């Protein structure tokens, strides 16, 4: 299978600061990457779809100015949580597909964000 590397695995930040999470496809080119959020004891919810070289597509209810997504290359997508608040504390996970549509999804290890 393909490998998606996500960093950091855990981060604690103060309210009002910004945090960047990186998602890299190590052995394949991901034209599309997906960002999910998971609150405790809930399932993963898609936040946005990141397309290389173009603007991300955000799901309804997800603030695009708060969750900045950049997909500048075929192997790297980043999610920046700006002006973080405690309610942003969650588990964030990315995934990528080799050709974006009907292939197997490969997930990063996830990032546990705690905003204090």
Binding stretches for other proteins (CB under 8 A)? 1, 6, 32, 34, 36, 42-46, 49, 91, 93, 95, 100-102, 104-110, 112
Of the pair 16, 77, the CB lying nearest other proteins is at 77
CB of residue 70 vs other proteins: minimum separation in angstroms? 19
- Listed in sequence order, the residues at least 6 apart from 100 whose beta carbon sits closer than 8 Å to its beta carbon are 30, 31, 32
Phi and psi (nearest 5°) for 61? 90, -5
Of the pair 18, 109, the CB lying nearest other proteins is at 109
CB of residue 100 vs other proteins: minimum separation in angstroms? 6
Of the pair 82, 107, the CB lying nearest other proteins is at 107
Asked if 114 and 9 count as a contact pair (C-beta separation under 8 A), the reply is no
47-59 core/surface letters (b: 16 or more CB in 10 A; e: else): bbbbbbeeebebe
CB of residue 42 vs other proteins: minimum separation in angstroms? 7
Structure tokens at 98: 């080799």
């Amino acid at each position: 299978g393909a490998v998606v590397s996500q960093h950091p695995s855990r981060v604690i930040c103060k309210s009002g600061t910004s945090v960047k999470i990186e998602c890299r496809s190590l052995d394949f080119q991901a034209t599309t990457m997906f960002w999910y959020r998971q609150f405790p004891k809930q399932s993963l919810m898609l936040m946005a779809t990141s397309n290389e070289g173009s603007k991300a597509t955000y799901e309804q209810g997800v603030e695009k100015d708060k969750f900045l997504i950049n997909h500048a290359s075929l192997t790297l997508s980043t999610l920046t949580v700006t002006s973080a608040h405690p309610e942003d504390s969650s588990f964030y996970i990315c995934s990528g597909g080799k050709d974006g549509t009907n292939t197997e999804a490969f997930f990063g290890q996830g990032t546990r964000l705690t905003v204090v």
